Copies of this chain bind each other. A is one copy, B any other.
Amino acid sequence: MHKEYKPYYAVIFTSTQRENLEGYIEMAKRMEELAKNQPGYLGLESARNDLGITVSYWESLDAIKNWKQQSEHLQAQLKGKTEWYNWYHTRICKVEREYEFHYKSN
C-alpha cells in the first residue's frame, strides 16, 4: 500500500437458521438500525442463501465490545440462541489491507 492505512475491524457472522423465524426479520432490521447508531460503527454487509453471512465493520475492538453488550442487542442475541439459529459462528478480525475494483467507474 502506498497510502497510509488505518486498520479497522470486521465481525464475520455466519449462521444457519431454524424453521420458525417469527419475529426474526423485524429484529434483524432493528439491530441494523441500532448498530448504525453505535459509536465506532463503519458499515454492514449481508447475504443469505442456506448459509447467511453478515459482516459488520468497526473502528476498534472496544466498539465491537460495546455493541456486543448493548442491552437491546443482548436480548436479540438471546432470542437468536433460543429461537432462530441452528448454528452460528462469530469471528472478530483485524482488517489489515484491502483493495477495490469498479467497472467503468466515473
State the A residues within 8 Å of B (CB): 10, 12, 14, 18, 45-49, 51-53, 55, 81, 85-103, 105
Contacts and interface: CB of A to CB of B under 8 A. Distances in A.
A14 B83 CA distance: 29
Q: How many copies does the complex hold?
A: 2
A103 B80 CA distance: 10
A27 B49 CA distance: 20
Contact of A102 (B87, B94, B96): B87
Contacts of A99: 89-90
A88 to B, nearest CB: 5
A95 B103 contact: no
Contacts of A89: 98-101
